[in-house]
Amino acid sequence: MAFIEVRNIEKHYKEIKAVKGVSFDIEKGKVIGLLGPNGAGKSTTISMISTLLKPDKGEVFFEGESILKNPIKIQKKLGIVPQEIALYESLSAYDNLEFWGSAYGLKKAKLKERIKEVAKLIGLEDRLKKPVKSFSGGMKRRLNIGVALLHEPELLIMDEPTVGIDPQSRNHILDTVVKLNEKGMTIIYTSHYMEEVEKLCDKIYIMDEGEIVADGDIDQLVNLVPKNKVFKIGFNKINDDLINSVKNIDGVEDVKIKDGILIIDTNRSEKMINELVDIASLYKLSIESVDIQRVNLETVFLHLTGKALRDE
Amino acid sequence: MYRIFLLRIKQMKKEYIIYVTMFIVSIVLTGLMGGAFDGVHKSKVFLNYDNNNSIQVKIANSLIEKDAYNYTKVTSIEDAKETVKSDDALFIIDLEEYKDIESGSDKISFIYGVEGFDLWQMKMNLQGVLSTLERSYKFAQNVNGIFDNSLNQDEIGKISDRYRYLFENKKIYEIQTERLDQGNSYSNTKHTAIGYTVFFSMFIILFGVGSIVRDRETNAWKRLTVSPLKEWQCIGGTLIFTFFIGCIQMCLYYLSGKYMFGVTWGNSNLGVITVMASYVFSVTCLSLFVVTLLKNYVQLSAFSAIFITGTSMLGGTMWPLEIVQNKIVRNLANFTPQKWAVEGLENIAMYGKGVESVKTPVLVLLLMGAVMFILAVISLRLQRGRNN
Amino acid sequence: MDFLKLLRKDFKVFFSDPASVSILLIMPIVLSSILSLALGGTFSSGVRTSPVPIAIVKEYDKEVDNKLLKESFDKSNIGNLEQMDQDMFDKFDIEKLFFDGFLDNKDIKSLITYEILDKKTAYEKLDKGKVYSILILPENFSYDLMTNMMTPYRNKVNLEFIEGQGREIRNTMVKSIISQFFDEISSSSVMKNILIEEGIKRDELDKVIEVLPQFIEEQGNQNIEKREFIDKTVSRKTPITSVQYYTIGMLAMFMLFTAGSHSYELLNEKKQKTYQRQIVAGVKLKKILLSQYVSAVLFLILQQSLLFIFSRLVFKSDFGALPNLITLMIVSAAAMAGLSLLLTVIAFVSENYAVSSVFQNVLIYVLALLGGSYLPLEVMPKIIQTIGPFILNGGIVKVFIQNAMGVSIGKMMPYLISLIIQGVAFLVAGIIILSKKRGVSDV
């Protein structure tokens, strides 16, 4: 029995199917990454897990029990860090921590103690009395996380927690996540930043258009892409003759076009460049840019969906 | 600035329901208020008197003949008091203790709950009625004395009645009232209609400039203020838009008043239009200045209440300024656009004057508007300076 | 979650916007103070306390008129002019009677002051506002009036009264007072004519003519009696002043504003995601709404209390028996909070502020007008008089006014019940809308 079992959950809004039959398991103490572009269904999926939304079909089990039948069980042990700064900005950091702590049933001395501990963890102990609206973006994000940790949850869902903040705050947050996981916390982490996911996650689920298109650890996902190199070549003009000629180069598996750039999946070495130059000369074209990439999550994603991870 | 104007038009299209609702409601309310004082409605007044006492009957009839109120004879004094308490009647005139002409006026009582102008006026009327009645009786008695008390009661009564008839209908004098400016006389009906036209027109103007506050909430305003646009350009587009909307509102008032509610706007359409346009300009600029100081929609809504109601009360839209006792408050009225708008419109629509009579109100309104616009620009400039 | 903590948070959030809070709490006080200054004392006296300045223009010449009178006596056969000594002319000297005897009377002087001017100067002063009106005593003024008093003839006197703009109420009072003098003369003339009629009827005309001058003089000696009536109130307390009325009217209007302002809160929470956070934390929507409702009730009571206390301390206004007043405050706050909750739910479910916006910018003013916040209902058309007290804010105005007048709670029951029904109806409507639009645990 997994810590969390998601079974064929679906959610639609009028005619749009935001989530179409998603299933996966989460083992206790693991960090799970949920990747996908905007509109993939990530937020809807975690909303259903967090009991914010009710699935139209399917079930979610927490420690073997359906959260639809008994949502309180998961709510008590779940901490949520939404993408938006879900805080009362006109109130102080302390007021926010106090309120949210009490929302999770913490009282009096225990509440005070936890506020102190969390404030130290997120590095805001000397700013507790200040109103949140006076905080920088990074500080707000840290407080956003701190609020979710007050009741010492066993499961933490973090929805793009590092969007729009400075690198220092970002690193602080990532280190915090690592520390929490080392203490045994199970974490569901969604992001656009593949380097974060690569660093933190034990397992990754890639979503697109409401479905999981791939899952596994980094190595497993990278191996989904049969090629280990991707050439991104920018020509001054792309035509059918060019594409056909490139396809005919030995070792080229796949050719795609994105934003006027030719993306070539190949297992060839950098020496293939010479052949590309020859083709360019043949059609009287010029090469404007060259980028050779090793396969990473972005590449995997692109391979699987034809889209980039970040902003379509 | 032109783009901002177009932006406001686009925003209005999305919120058109609010604008249409405001237009309709304002017009209906103004029509209602104008109709409230058409002279047809009469408030209820109780009269407590004994049908068998001829003096009391005469007094009651004299009051009833004046026809200023809806008089009702008391059947139960307690019930009448309850009616007054529940505000369904103005007061009770109790004549029961006034047994005969020798009784003093302190035998007549007024029973009321809320003070009011009607009470004072009724006392004046009753003084006149009593005076005439007492005099007629005393005269008849004296006439009888002259004829050696040979007249019977019937003849005495007739003499008394004759006196009252001649006194009421054959006075030896007449006071012909004219106005200095040859205009028409004051009309409470018209004052109320004009006052409420001016009052209700403020809603839509404030809502129009409130778009700036709504922009502030979404931070779109911040973007505008860090652009190369000058302050007057930032708010100029909104000014033009709101002025345009306010003028439409005023046109609707004018037309609905003329063709639906039977309002006569006087002999000078030009005068009326000039006053209305100047008023809209003035209020728009004043509102613009105010909104530069407000941060969010809740503040705007709450402030609108005070701003609209407070300045309208001070400016004499709800009651004639003449009745305000306090000198400071009367002087403060001069700083409200409403006061000048009411004056200008009354000059034409009520007093029947020509377009030259609106010169001063229009100039004051335009000047107020200009000053307020400058203050709005300065306010924005200071805010920009702080943010930099 | 502890309900009190939720309530405390709602209060803190609302009070964290000092500008909005001060507007809702302080501004009713400011506005009602303006009203007190503007209207204070106006309706109790009905007239201004300072005397009204007028100009009097004499277009007649007393000497010419006296000469005319003597000539008319010569021509007529009423009496022998020689018999009418100078004393008679003095007794009926119109100028003495009108100016010395009437306008210079202490009581009249406290109401009207006058200057005798030529026409041009009078008009100039009227134009400048130095006098409020001009009374023109026409040609043959003295002759006509003395003829009315001394002879059987009746000569009508046409007085001109020229008013300045903006002084209508005061000029009405001036005309009314001046009419008193001429009514006296009118009365004398009427008496004289009736006496002569009766003399002719009874064939005792000689007797009448003999006693006529003395009789008229005696009638004229009767002073205008100043009448004081007895004032009684429907309750034991002093009557409600217009100041108190408008304080209550303004309070009812600002309670509507509070209801509208509160209605933004929950949708704000939804937009900033704190609402969702609460749901995920296991806080039920019912509890959140209850907290919104209770915080609205408490704020409304605070609003009422501040205004009543201020009015009592500064203007010595009395709003009636305290236990009843507290009851009314609670009932009215609860009903108004019901409306607030309905608006909250509508905004929350529709996910936009349109309805709240229409309410705040349009409906409040309509309701304030129909409920009697601007003008007493009894001057409005009949239909508004009927429905006004049964509109939420109209009912609030009604019960507070009645309480101030000493009406018992029992007698106010129809309006109280109406308030309670409306409050409950708003709550029920809110619940229905919420349940129709939401699925279980759908935010």
B91 in the same domain as B117: yes
Which has the higher per-residue pLDDT, C340 or C405? Answer: C340
Q: Is there a contact between A199 and A174 (Cβ–Cβ < 8 Å)?
A: yes
All structural domains of chain C, each given as residue ranges with its CATH number in brackets, are 3-40+241-437 (no CATH), 47-221 (3.40.1710)
Q: Which of A91, A104, A131 sits opposite C281 (nearest CB)?
A: A104
Which has the higher per-residue pLDDT, C349 or C376? Answer: C349
pLDDT in tens, B22-35: 777 777 777 766 65
Residue C378 forms contact with B (CB below 8 Å) = yes
Q: Do A86 and C273 touch (CB under 8 A)?
A: yes
Spatial separation of the C-alpha atoms in residues C9 and C283, rounded to whole Å: 13
Q: Do A91 and C279 touch (CB under 8 A)?
A: no
Does residue B68 lie in a domain region? yes
If pLDDT is split at 50, 70 and 90, which confidence band does C149 have? confident
pLDDT in tens, C391-435: 999 999 999 988 988 888 888 899 999 999 999 999 999 999 988
Does residue B175 lie in a domain region? no
Neighbours of chain C (3+ CB pairs under 8 A): A, B
B91 in the same domain as B24: no
pLDDT at C181 over 90: no
Q: Is there a contact between C303 and C258 (Cβ–Cβ < 8 Å)?
A: yes
pLDDT in tens, B100-152: 777 777 788 888 877 766 777 788 778 878 888 888 888 898 889 888 888 88
Which amino acid makes up residue A25?
D
Alpha carbon of C351 to those of A82, A90, B21, B215, C14: distances in Å? 19, 22, 20, 18, 20
Q: Is there a contact between C360 and B305 (Cβ–Cβ < 8 Å)?
A: no
Per-residue pLDDT, C222: 56
pLDDT in tens, C5-64: 899 999 899 888 887 788 788 888 888 887 777 766 544 444 445 788 999 999 999 888
DSSP track, B323-339: G---HHHHHHGGGSHHH
Residue C5 to chain A, least CA–CA distance (Å): 7
Spatial separation of the C-alpha atoms in residues C173 and B170, rounded to whole Å: 22
Residue C332 to chain A, least CA–CA distance (Å): 30
Residue C5 forms contact with A (CB below 8 Å) = yes
Spatial separation of the C-alpha atoms in residues A179 and A265, rounded to whole Å: 38
What is the tally of structural domains in chain B? 2
Domain span at residue B192 reads 2-37+188-387
Q: C-chain residues within 8 Å CB-CB of A105?
A: 1
Q: Which of A75, A86, A105 sits opposite C272 (nearest CB)?
A: A86
pLDDT at C197 over 50: yes
In chain A, which residue ranges form alpha helices assigned H by DSSP?
A: 42-49, 71-77, 93-103, 108-122, 137-149, 167-182, 194-200, 218-222, 240-247, 272-282, 297-305
* pTM for the whole structure: 0.75
Sign of the CA dihedral with B51 first, then B56, B59, and B64 last: negative
**Boundary-marking domain end, from B169, B203, B238:** B169
Q: Do C12 and A53 touch (CB under 8 A)?
A: no
**Boundary-marking domain end, from B169, B204, B234:** B169
B355 in the same domain as B214: yes
Residue C429 to chain A, least CA–CA distance (Å): 25
Spatial separation of the C-alpha atoms in residues B37 and B35, rounded to whole Å: 5
Spatial separation of the C-alpha atoms in residues C146 and C70, rounded to whole Å: 11
A with B: 3 or more CB pairs under 8 Å? Answer: no
Does residue B149 lie in a domain region? yes
B195 in the same domain as B119: no
Neighbours of chain B (3+ CB pairs under 8 A): C
Residues in chain A whose beta carbon is closer than 8 A to a beta carbon of chain C?
50-54, 71-72, 75-76, 78, 80, 82, 84-91, 95, 99-100, 102-105, 107, 131, 147
Taking CA atoms, what residue in A is nearest to C281?
Answer: A75
Q: Is there a contact between C407 and B83 (Cβ–Cβ < 8 Å)?
A: no
Q: Do C402 and B87 touch (CB under 8 A)?
A: yes
B316 in the same domain as B235: yes
Spatial separation of the C-alpha atoms in residues C331 and C312, rounded to whole Å: 21
pLDDT in tens, B320-343: 887 777 778 888 899 999 999 999
Residue C428 to chain A, least CA–CA distance (Å): 25
B128 in the same domain as B25: no
Q: Is there a contact between B119 and B91 (Cβ–Cβ < 8 Å)?
A: yes
Does residue B340 lie in a domain region? yes
Does residue B180 lie in a domain region? no
Residue C442 forms contact with A (CB below 8 Å) = yes
Does residue B264 lie in a domain region? yes
Q: At what angle do helices C168-201 and C205-221 cross, to 10 degrees?
A: 150
> Phi and psi of A306, rounded to 5°?
75, 10
If pLDDT is split at 50, 70 and 90, which confidence band does B43 have? confident
Spatial separation of the C-alpha atoms in residues B384 and A177, rounded to whole Å: 41
Preferred mutation among C14, C361, C393 to probe B, highest tally of B CBs within 10 A: C361
Q: Do C279 and A107 touch (CB under 8 A)?
A: no
Q: Is there a contact between C216 and C88 (Cβ–Cβ < 8 Å)?
A: no
Residue B167 to chain C, least CA–CA distance (Å): 6
Taking CA atoms, what residue in B is nearest to C24?
Answer: B302
Residue C274 to chain A, least CA–CA distance (Å): 5
Residue C37 forms contact with B (CB below 8 Å) = yes
Closest CA to C225 of C180, C172, C171: C180
| Residue range A260-273: mean pLDDT, rounded | 79
**Both tokens assigned to A17:** 């199917």
Q: Which of C167, C185, C211 sits opposite B322 (nearest CB)?
A: C167
Which has the higher per-residue pLDDT, B196 or B358? Answer: B358
B141 in the same domain as B77: yes
Residue C381 forms contact with B (CB below 8 Å) = yes
Alpha carbon of C360 to those of A214, B41, B204, C215: distances in Å? 52, 31, 12, 72
CATH number, domain with residue B135? 3.40.190
pLDDT in tens, C219-256: 655 555 556 777 777 765 567 777 788 889 889 999 99
Q: Do A100 and C281 touch (CB under 8 A)?
A: yes
Q: Do B18 and C362 touch (CB under 8 A)?
A: yes
Taking CA atoms, what residue in C is nearest to B89?
Answer: C378
A292-301, B36-45, C377-386, C391-400: least confidently modelled range: B36-45
pLDDT in tens, A160-169: 888 888 888 8
Spatial separation of the C-alpha atoms in residues C10 and C2, rounded to whole Å: 13
Catalogue the long-range contacts made by B143-148 (C-beta closer than 8 Å, 24 or more residues apart): B143/C194, B143/C195, B143/C198, B146/C195, B146/C207, B146/C208, B146/C211, B146/C215, B147/C198, B147/C202, B147/C204
**Both tokens assigned to C51:** 């005397």
Residue C232 forms contact with B (CB below 8 Å) = yes
**Both tokens assigned to A253:** 């598996």
Q: Do B131 and C229 touch (CB under 8 A)?
A: no
Q: B-chain residues within 8 Å CB-CB of C192?
A: none
- φ/ψ region of C193 (left if φ > 0, alpha if ψ in -120 to 50, else beta) reads alpha
- DSSP 8-class letter at C374: S
Residue C274 forms contact with A (CB below 8 Å) = yes
| Residue range A16-44: mean pLDDT, rounded | 89
Q: C-chain residues within 8 Å CB-CB of B206?
A: 361
Q: Which of C207, C378, C402 sits opposite B85 (nearest CB)?
A: C402
B61 in the same domain as B20: no
Under 8 Å CB pairs connecting chains B and C tally to: 314
C with A: 3 or more CB pairs under 8 Å? Answer: yes
Residue A6 to chain C, least CA–CA distance (Å): 18
B58 in the same domain as B30: no
Residue C299 forms contact with B (CB below 8 Å) = no
Does residue B176 lie in a domain region? no
Q: Which of B112, B174, B185 sits opposite C159 (nearest CB)?
A: B174
Q: Which of A50, A89, A90 sits opposite C280 (nearest CB)?
A: A50
Taking CA atoms, what residue in A is nearest to C285?
Answer: A52
B with C: 3 or more CB pairs under 8 Å? Answer: yes
| Residue range A110-126: mean pLDDT, rounded | 92
Residue A242 to chain C, least CA–CA distance (Å): 50
pLDDT in tens, C99-127: 988 888 888 888 889 999 999 999 999 98
B232 in the same domain as B131: no
Catalogue the long-range contacts made by B326-333 (C-beta closer than 8 Å, 24 or more residues apart): B326/C37, B326/C38, B326/C40, B328/C37, B329/C34, B329/C37, B329/C38
B264 in the same domain as B290: yes
Residue C223 forms contact with A (CB below 8 Å) = no
Per-residue pLDDT, C44: 47
Q: Do C369 and B33 touch (CB under 8 A)?
A: yes
B12 in the same domain as B98: no
Give the percent of chain C with pLDDT over 90.
Answer: 32
Q: Which of A71, A80, A131 sits opposite C441 (nearest CB)?
A: A71
All structural domains of chain A, each given as residue ranges with its CATH number in brackets, are 4-222 (3.40.50.300), 229-294 (3.30.70.100)
Q: Do B180 and C219 touch (CB under 8 A)?
A: no
Under 8 Å CB pairs connecting chains A and C tally to: 76
Q: Is there a contact between C11 and C3 (Cβ–Cβ < 8 Å)?
A: no
Which amino acid makes up residue B250?
M
Angle at A284 between CA A278 and CA A287, to 5 degrees: 65
Q: C-chain residues within 8 Å CB-CB of B352?
A: none
Spatial separation of the C-alpha atoms in residues A301 and B45, rounded to whole Å: 87
Which residues have a Cβ under 8 Å from the Cβ of B346 and sit 6 or more positions away? B190, B191, B194
Does residue B195 lie in a domain region? yes
Residue C212 forms contact with B (CB below 8 Å) = no
Which has the higher per-residue pLDDT, B227 or B365? Answer: B365
